[in-house]
Amino acid sequence: MAKNLVAKARSGVGKGAARALRREGWIPAVIYGDKKDPLPISISYNEAMKSIYAGGFLSHVIEVDVEGQKHSVIPRDYQLDPVKDKALHVDFLRVGPNTKLHVQVAVHFENHEASPGIKKGGVLNIVHHTLDLTCPANAIPEAIVIDLTGKDVGDSIHLSSITLPKGTSVRTHEKDMTIATIAAPSALRSEEATAAPAEAAAAPAAAAPAKDAPAKK
Protein backbone atom coordinates (compact mmCIF):
# COMPACT_ATOMS: atom_id res chain seq x y z
CA MET A 1 0.00 0.00 0.00
CA ALA A 2 1.01 3.63 -0.38
CA LYS A 3 3.38 4.89 2.33
CA ASN A 4 2.10 8.45 1.90
CA LEU A 5 -0.92 10.27 0.59
CA VAL A 6 -1.36 13.79 -0.71
CA ALA A 7 -4.41 15.57 0.69
CA LYS A 8 -5.99 18.98 0.74
CA ALA A 9 -7.82 20.75 3.54
CA ARG A 10 -11.58 21.02 3.17
CA SER A 11 -14.05 23.41 4.69
CA GLY A 12 -17.31 22.08 3.29
CA VAL A 13 -19.23 19.55 5.37
CA GLY A 14 -22.42 17.63 4.83
CA LYS A 15 -23.68 15.25 2.17
CA GLY A 16 -23.80 17.86 -0.58
CA ALA A 17 -20.15 18.85 -0.12
CA ALA A 18 -19.11 15.18 0.05
CA ARG A 19 -20.91 14.38 -3.22
CA ALA A 20 -19.22 17.34 -4.90
CA LEU A 21 -15.80 16.08 -3.76
CA ARG A 22 -16.46 12.58 -5.09
CA ARG A 23 -17.52 13.95 -8.47
CA GLU A 24 -14.10 15.63 -8.67
CA GLY A 25 -12.22 12.40 -7.81
CA TRP A 26 -11.73 13.10 -4.10
CA ILE A 27 -13.26 11.61 -0.98
CA PRO A 28 -13.74 13.25 2.44
CA ALA A 29 -11.52 12.19 5.33
CA VAL A 30 -10.57 13.43 8.78
CA ILE A 31 -7.41 13.34 10.90
CA TYR A 32 -8.03 13.23 14.65
CA GLY A 33 -6.34 12.35 17.93
CA ASP A 34 -3.13 13.32 19.76
CA LYS A 35 -5.13 15.89 21.76
CA LYS A 36 -5.49 18.12 18.70
CA ASP A 37 -8.55 19.40 16.86
CA PRO A 38 -9.90 17.18 14.09
CA LEU A 39 -8.62 18.19 10.65
CA PRO A 40 -11.11 17.68 7.77
CA ILE A 41 -9.30 16.77 4.57
CA SER A 42 -9.96 15.24 1.18
CA ILE A 43 -7.81 12.56 -0.44
CA SER A 44 -7.54 11.15 -3.95
CA TYR A 45 -10.20 8.53 -4.60
CA ASN A 46 -7.86 6.46 -6.79
CA GLU A 47 -5.04 6.48 -4.22
CA ALA A 48 -7.43 5.61 -1.41
CA MET A 49 -8.92 2.65 -3.30
CA LYS A 50 -5.45 1.43 -4.28
CA SER A 51 -4.32 1.50 -0.63
CA ILE A 52 -7.48 -0.14 0.71
CA TYR A 53 -7.34 -3.07 -1.71
CA ALA A 54 -3.58 -3.55 -1.41
CA GLY A 55 -4.22 -5.11 2.02
CA GLY A 56 -3.13 -4.13 5.50
CA PHE A 57 -4.68 -0.67 5.18
CA LEU A 58 -5.66 -0.50 8.86
CA SER A 59 -2.29 -1.72 10.18
CA HIS A 60 0.20 0.60 8.47
CA VAL A 61 1.39 4.02 9.59
CA ILE A 62 1.50 6.41 6.63
CA GLU A 63 2.29 10.05 6.05
CA VAL A 64 -0.44 12.39 4.85
CA ASP A 65 0.77 15.62 3.25
CA VAL A 66 -1.89 18.29 3.71
CA GLU A 67 -0.80 21.22 1.57
CA GLY A 68 2.80 20.92 2.72
CA GLN A 69 2.09 20.00 6.34
CA LYS A 70 2.96 16.35 7.03
CA HIS A 71 0.97 14.19 9.47
CA SER A 72 2.00 10.72 10.66
CA VAL A 73 -1.24 8.74 10.85
CA ILE A 74 -2.74 5.29 10.76
CA PRO A 75 -6.09 4.57 9.05
CA ARG A 76 -8.60 3.63 11.73
CA ASP A 77 -11.75 3.14 9.67
CA TYR A 78 -13.20 3.58 6.21
CA GLN A 79 -16.65 3.41 4.68
CA LEU A 80 -17.50 1.72 1.40
CA ASP A 81 -20.62 2.11 -0.68
CA PRO A 82 -22.56 -1.12 0.03
CA VAL A 83 -23.63 -1.43 -3.61
CA LYS A 84 -20.77 -0.01 -5.69
CA ASP A 85 -18.01 -0.95 -3.21
CA LYS A 86 -16.43 2.49 -3.57
CA ALA A 87 -14.71 4.39 -0.78
CA LEU A 88 -16.90 7.08 0.79
CA HIS A 89 -14.92 8.28 3.83
CA VAL A 90 -11.69 7.55 5.73
CA ASP A 91 -10.74 8.25 9.36
CA PHE A 92 -7.05 8.73 10.24
CA LEU A 93 -5.56 8.70 13.74
CA ARG A 94 -2.50 10.84 14.49
CA VAL A 95 0.41 8.87 15.93
CA GLY A 96 3.64 9.86 17.66
CA PRO A 97 6.89 8.05 18.53
CA ASN A 98 5.45 6.86 21.86
CA THR A 99 2.02 5.92 20.58
CA LYS A 100 0.91 2.31 21.09
CA LEU A 101 -1.77 0.87 18.85
CA HIS A 102 -4.13 -2.09 18.71
CA VAL A 103 -3.84 -3.68 15.27
CA GLN A 104 -4.73 -6.90 13.49
CA VAL A 105 -1.63 -8.51 11.95
CA ALA A 106 -1.65 -11.50 9.61
CA VAL A 107 0.00 -14.81 10.55
CA HIS A 108 2.23 -16.30 7.85
CA PHE A 109 3.82 -19.76 7.77
CA GLU A 110 7.15 -20.67 6.19
CA ASN A 111 9.28 -23.78 5.50
CA HIS A 112 6.36 -26.06 4.70
CA GLU A 113 8.81 -28.36 2.89
CA ALA A 114 10.78 -28.82 6.13
CA SER A 115 7.77 -30.15 8.04
CA PRO A 116 7.76 -33.98 8.33
CA GLY A 117 4.02 -33.91 8.96
CA ILE A 118 3.23 -31.99 5.79
CA LYS A 119 5.63 -34.22 3.81
CA LYS A 120 3.53 -37.20 4.92
CA GLY A 121 0.44 -35.51 3.54
CA GLY A 122 -0.62 -33.82 6.77
CA VAL A 123 -2.73 -30.69 6.63
CA LEU A 124 -1.84 -27.35 8.19
CA ASN A 125 -4.96 -26.42 10.13
CA ILE A 126 -4.80 -22.67 10.82
CA VAL A 127 -6.85 -21.69 13.87
CA HIS A 128 -5.91 -17.98 13.88
CA HIS A 129 -5.15 -16.25 10.56
CA THR A 130 -4.51 -12.94 12.36
CA LEU A 131 -3.40 -11.84 15.81
CA ASP A 132 -4.74 -8.87 17.75
CA LEU A 133 -1.57 -7.03 18.77
CA THR A 134 -0.64 -4.07 20.92
CA CYS A 135 2.58 -2.55 19.60
CA PRO A 136 4.47 0.71 19.09
CA ALA A 137 3.13 2.77 16.19
CA ASN A 138 6.59 2.96 14.64
CA ALA A 139 7.20 -0.80 14.85
CA ILE A 140 4.06 -2.52 13.56
CA PRO A 141 5.14 -5.89 12.08
CA GLU A 142 4.12 -6.68 8.50
CA ALA A 143 3.23 -10.19 9.66
CA ILE A 144 3.93 -12.73 12.39
CA VAL A 145 5.98 -15.47 10.68
CA ILE A 146 5.88 -19.03 12.05
CA ASP A 147 8.51 -21.61 11.10
CA LEU A 148 7.11 -25.09 10.37
CA THR A 149 10.52 -26.80 10.38
CA GLY A 150 10.33 -30.13 12.24
CA LYS A 151 6.56 -29.99 12.81
CA ASP A 152 5.00 -33.44 12.59
CA VAL A 153 1.48 -34.83 12.46
CA GLY A 154 -0.30 -34.12 15.73
CA ASP A 155 1.90 -31.15 16.63
CA SER A 156 0.28 -27.91 17.76
CA ILE A 157 1.75 -24.43 17.53
CA HIS A 158 0.89 -22.35 20.58
CA LEU A 159 1.26 -18.66 21.30
CA SER A 160 4.03 -19.37 23.83
CA SER A 161 6.25 -20.77 21.06
CA ILE A 162 6.15 -17.55 18.99
CA THR A 163 8.76 -14.82 19.39
CA LEU A 164 7.03 -11.45 19.11
CA PRO A 165 8.79 -8.20 18.18
CA LYS A 166 10.09 -6.10 21.07
CA GLY A 167 7.37 -4.09 22.78
CA THR A 168 4.60 -6.17 21.19
CA SER A 169 2.00 -8.24 23.01
CA VAL A 170 -1.06 -10.25 21.99
CA ARG A 171 -4.47 -9.23 23.24
CA THR A 172 -6.17 -12.47 24.28
CA HIS A 173 -7.97 -13.99 27.25
CA GLU A 174 -6.71 -17.49 26.39
CA LYS A 175 -3.85 -18.75 28.53
CA ASP A 176 -1.84 -20.20 25.64
CA MET A 177 -4.01 -20.17 22.56
CA THR A 178 -3.42 -22.56 19.67
CA ILE A 179 -2.37 -20.83 16.46
CA ALA A 180 -2.28 -23.91 14.20
CA THR A 181 -2.02 -27.70 14.18
CA ILE A 182 -0.69 -30.34 11.79
CA ALA A 183 -3.62 -32.67 11.18
CA ALA A 184 -3.28 -36.25 9.93
CA PRO A 185 -3.85 -36.92 6.22
CA SER A 186 -7.45 -37.75 5.40
CA ALA A 187 -6.43 -41.22 4.14
CA LEU A 188 -4.71 -42.01 7.44
CA ARG A 189 -7.72 -40.78 9.42
CA SER A 190 -9.96 -43.01 7.30
CA GLU A 191 -7.73 -46.05 7.90
CA GLU A 192 -7.71 -45.39 11.65
CA ALA A 193 -11.48 -45.02 11.71
CA THR A 194 -11.88 -48.35 9.86
CA ALA A 195 -9.32 -50.17 12.01
CA ALA A 196 -10.84 -49.14 15.32
CA PRO A 197 -14.11 -51.14 15.01
CA ALA A 198 -12.19 -54.16 13.70
CA GLU A 199 -9.82 -54.08 16.66
CA ALA A 200 -12.75 -53.69 19.06
CA ALA A 201 -14.48 -56.71 17.54
CA ALA A 202 -11.32 -58.82 17.64
CA ALA A 203 -10.61 -58.11 21.30
CA PRO A 204 -13.49 -60.21 22.83
CA ALA A 205 -12.65 -63.14 20.58
CA ALA A 206 -9.00 -63.05 21.64
CA ALA A 207 -10.00 -62.83 25.32
CA ALA A 208 -12.43 -65.79 25.20
CA PRO A 209 -11.05 -68.97 26.97
CA ALA A 210 -10.25 -71.94 24.73
CA LYS A 211 -12.54 -74.96 25.00
CA ASP A 212 -11.14 -78.06 26.70
CA ALA A 213 -9.80 -80.60 24.25
CA PRO A 214 -11.69 -83.92 24.22
CA ALA A 215 -10.20 -86.56 26.57
CA LYS A 216 -8.20 -89.40 24.99
CA LYS A 217 -9.66 -92.88 25.32
Which tens digit of pLDDT belongs to each residue from 123-159? 999 999 999 999 998 889 999 999 999 999 999 999 9
CATH number at residue 70: 2.40.240.10
Q: Is residue 207, in this structure, part of any structural domain at all?
A: no
Task: Give the total number of structural domains in the chain.
Answer: 2
Higher pLDDT, 200 or 108: 108
Q: What angle do CA 109, 49, 69 make, to 5 degrees?
A: 105
Q: Which domain covers residue 61, as residue numbers?
A: 4-95
What are the pLDDT digits (tens) for 21-47?
A: 889 999 999 999 988 899 999 999 999
User: 54-67 as b/e, with b when 16 or more CB fall inside 10 Å?
Assistant: eebbebbbbebebe
Rounded to an integer, what distance in angstroms lies between the CA atom of residue 14 and that of residue 132?
34
Do 139 and 82 lie in one domain? The reply is no
Residues 123 and 82 placed together within one structural domain of the fold: no
Same domain, 17 and 80: yes
Residue type, 114: A
Work out the average pLDDT over 77-86.
90
Last-in-domain residue among 40, 74, 95: 95
User: Is residue 209 a part of any domain in this protein?
Assistant: no
Is the same domain home to 119 and 73? no
Picking from 78, 95, 112, the residue at the C-terminal end of a domain is 95
Strands 130-136 and 169-170: antiparallel
- Same domain for 120 and 135, yes or no, is yes
> Residue 217: inside a domain, yes or no?
no
Residues 6 or more apart whose CB falls under 8 angstroms from that of 187 comprise 121
User: Phi/psi of residue 21, each to 5°?
Assistant: -60, -45
What's the pLDDT at 45?
93
pTM: 0.70
Same domain? 122 vs 90: no
- CA–CA separation, 87 vs 13, rounded Å? 17
User: Residues 106, 157: one domain?
Assistant: yes
pLDDT, residue 190, reads 54
Q: What is the dihedral of CA 91, 107, 1, 50, to 10 degrees?
A: -80
Statement to judge: residues 113 and 75 lie in one domain: no
